[in-house]
A and B are shown apart, each in its own frame.
Chain A
Amino acid sequence: MIEEILITARDNAKVDPYLNIWTWEISIYLFLGGMTAGMMIFAAWAVLAKKDDLAPFASNKLALWAPIVLSIGMTTLFLDLEHKLYVWRFYTTLQVTSPMSWGSWILILVYPVAILQVLSTLRAGYPKLAQLAERLPLVTPVLDISESQKRRIALASIPLGIGLAIYTGILLSAFSARPFWNTGILGPLFLVSGLSTAAAFVLLATRAHAEKLLFARIDIGLILVEMLLIALFIVNLTTGSEAHLNAARLILGGEFTLLFWGWFFTLGLVIPLLIEILEVRGSRLALVTLGPVLVLVGGYLLRQVMMDVGQVSTWTQYESQYDMQLLQRLER
């Protein structure tokens, strides 16, 4: 028998009894960041592939939502900071070894391009809004220029979108201290999931039947790829070091098994996959909106699962000999 315990009370906030530094704020941010990326990519693709007819929403309307969604994500990211007044410190330096530093600069690059994407499609997508905006000085020439550069803007959006989505994965996978995160697959996985949630967004938002079918097909493909990546992710963990194996155990019979397989995998991937397949096959189910909603839920759950399991997975784990609640008495 091995008994390894802490014999001095240790109750460091957010570290004990298990790491709990990041909660919903970061999950939301990762989720919305991935979705933003997907939106930018689809919007750009629609422009470049000239899908105005087949995919009117993606071509002209989708772009508007990217900066909005991203802004919400960045707000929750800000909410997570413990030292909020010092947020500007992100932008006084570029720390080359820090994915988070890269990420904050990527966001700075993504924002203007996402806005340009909006401007270049605004008149076509939201004419009323454009009219309103054009009452302001300078807006008309700006819209004119943007529209003229539409393809260039779209071209720039794709790599930035991919960068943003992959970065949300790399942010986590770069942490060698968290075995559950520490695999190369999180980047692609988050990219695919970001695309899938963006596709689901289109499915919910568009009224065009053809676009629905198109994006349902796309989403089915994406979900299948996502499942494949998850399989790879697990293979990766289970063939890794002891620490990685322990991390894998958390979702393979461990305490997060239900969360991972029951909620995320089944509810967030399998069921929407089935619904979308049915839809593509033409069955007129009342459930059609449920499919994309579940994809969104699944997209969020993926981040939440990663957040929770990743933080619990660790190299060192000691049990405390004492009831840490007692330390609250110190606030007498």
Chain B
Amino acid sequence: MPARYAMVIDTRTCIGCGDCVVACKTENNVPAGLNRDWIVEATRGRYPNLTTEFRSERCNHCSHATCVYACPTGASHYWQNTNIVLVEPGKCTGCKACIAACPYDARLIMHPQGYVDKCTFCHHRVARGQDPACVSSCPTHCMHFGDLNDANSIVSQLLDRRKSRALKPETGNQPNVFYLS
């Protein structure tokens, strides 16, 4: 069975430090001004009864990736039949249909070259058995990566044991980035 890669991020320990963001930028040489991941802070309540949650967000590498389905050229594709969604620059026309098709606004146009670039789940590292750069940089160790089709993987176990949610599952995209609470 091809792998179903997932990221599981523990909001109990995430401090919103943004190390994952900088690590992505340096690892992947993301040009200045563009980001493949970002941090959201969500505060609820009224002083002094408050909760604050930090979420490190990126492409959800959806099992039902509307961006892939929208792409007219096949430039957006699943990597090796896994759920990792990549863009092949040599096939990309820059039509931006995939950008419009992402309910998470997780794609970005990479200027100046004109093809679409996005989070790759660091497949170049995954191929070597390493965690994505963001995951392996996180100082609180709150990010986890692995294959959900492997019941023994850390991500499967965490999702079994802990309460979790993905972002807006109602989009129907079947996102694969999960947040533990």
A residues neighboring B (CB under 8 Å): 1-16, 19, 21-22, 80-84, 86-87, 89-90, 92-93, 95, 97-101, 103-104, 174-178, 241, 243, 311, 314-316, 318, 327, 330-331
Tell me how far the C-beta of B65 lies from the nearest C-beta in chain A, rounded to whole angstroms: 10
In the complex, B96 has a CB within 8 A of chain A: yes
Chain B: how many interface residues by the 8 Å CB criterion? Answer: 54
A174 touches B70 (CB 8 A): yes
In the complex, B139 has a CB within 8 A of chain A: no
Chain B residues near A6 (CB, 8 Å)?
A: 38-41
Candidate in A8, A89, A311, A315 with the most chain B CB atoms within 10 angstroms: A8
Q: List 24 A-B contacts (CB under 8 A).
A: A1-B44, A4-B42, A7-B18, A7-B40, A9-B35, A10-B38, A13-B33, A13-B109, A13-B111, A14-B109, A22-B96, A80-B95, A82-B94, A82-B114, A83-B93, A89-B75, A89-B92, A93-B74, A95-B71, A100-B72, A176-B101, A176-B172, A243-B170, A315-B171
In the bound complex, what is the Cα–Cα distance between A294 and B35 (angstroms)? Answer: 43
Tell me how far the C-beta of B170 lies from the nearest C-beta in chain A, rounded to whole angstroms: 7
Tell me how far the C-beta of A242 lies from the nearest C-beta in chain B, rounded to whole angstroms: 8
> Beta-carbon contacts of B47-78 to A below 8 Å, as 1s and 0s?
00000001000000000001011111111000
A316 touches B167 (CB 8 A): yes
Chain A residues near B101 (CB, 8 Å)?
A: 175-177
In the complex, B159 has a CB within 8 A of chain A: no
List 5 extra interface pairs beyond A8-B18, A101-B73, CB under 8 A: A13-B111, A22-B100, A83-B114, A95-B73, A178-B100
Known contacts A7-B41, A84-B114, A86-B93; A316 and B32 CB within 8 A of each other: no
A315 touches B44 (CB 8 A): no
In the complex, B166 has a CB within 8 A of chain A: no
A330 touches B33 (CB 8 A): yes
> Beta-carbon contacts of B114-133 to A below 8 Å, as 1s and 0s?
11000000000000000000
Q: Which one of A3, A8, A330 lies within 8 Å of B42 (CB-CB)?
A: A3
B40 touches A4 (CB 8 A): yes
Chain B residues near A243 (CB, 8 Å)?
A: 170
Q: Which one of A22, A89, A97, A311 lies within 8 Å of B73 (CB-CB)?
A: A89
Label chain A's interface by main secondary structure: loop
A315 touches B104 (CB 8 A): yes
Tell me how far the C-beta of B39 lies from the nearest C-beta in chain A, rounded to whole angstroms: 5
In the bound complex, what is the Cα–Cα distance between A35 and B126 (angstroms)? Answer: 50
A84 touches B94 (CB 8 A): yes
In the complex, B91 has a CB within 8 A of chain A: yes
Chain A residues near B3 (CB, 8 Å)?
A: none
In the bound complex, what is the Cα–Cα distance between A104 and B95 (angstroms)? Answer: 12
> Beta-carbon contacts of B75-112 to A below 8 Å, as 1s and 0s?
10000000000000111111111011111110111010
> Beta-carbon contacts of B156-181 to A below 8 Å, as 1s and 0s?
00000000000110111000000000
Q: Which one of B108, B113, B114, B171 lies within 8 Å of A176 (CB-CB)?
A: B171
Known contacts A83-B92, A98-B70; A311 and B109 CB within 8 A of each other: no
Q: Which one of B34, B44, B73, B107 lies within 8 Å of A93 (CB-CB)?
A: B73
Q: Which one of B97, B109, B113 lies within 8 Å of A98 (CB-CB)?
A: B97
In the bound complex, what is the Cα–Cα distance between A82 and B99 (angstroms)? Answer: 13
In the complex, B143 has a CB within 8 A of chain A: no
In the complex, B21 has a CB within 8 A of chain A: yes
**Chain B residue at minimal CB-CB distance from A2:** B44
B104 touches A316 (CB 8 A): yes
List the 6 closest pairs (A to B, CB-CB), nearest first. A82-B94, A83-B94, A101-B72, A12-B108, A82-B114, A177-B103
**Chain A residue at minimal CB-CB distance from B53:** A4
In the bound complex, what is the Cα–Cα distance between A155 and B172 (angstroms)? Answer: 40
In the bound complex, what is the Cα–Cα distance between A103 and B105 (angstroms)? Answer: 24
A327 touches B33 (CB 8 A): yes
B42 touches A15 (CB 8 A): no
**Chain B residue at minimal CB-CB distance from A77:** B95
In the bound complex, what is the Cα–Cα distance between A93 and B76 (angstroms)? Answer: 13
Tell me how far the C-beta of B9 lies from the nearest C-beta in chain A, rounded to whole angstroms: 15
In the complex, B43 has a CB within 8 A of chain A: yes
A315 touches B168 (CB 8 A): yes
Tell me how far the C-beta of B113 lies from the nearest C-beta in chain A, rounded to whole angstroms: 8
**Chain A residue at minimal CB-CB distance from B73:** A89
Chain A residues near B172 (CB, 8 Å)?
A: 176
> Beta-carbon contacts of B13-47 to A below 8 Å, as 1s and 0s?
00010100100000000001111001111111110
Tell me how far the C-beta of A301 lies from the nearest C-beta in chain B, rounded to whole angstroms: 20
**Chain A residue at minimal CB-CB distance from B112:** A82
Tell me how far the C-beta of B143 lies from the nearest C-beta in chain A, rounded to whole angstroms: 15
Known contacts A12-B109, A13-B108, A14-B99; A316 and B69 CB within 8 A of each other: no
Chain B residues near A8 (CB, 8 Å)?
A: 18, 21, 35, 38-39
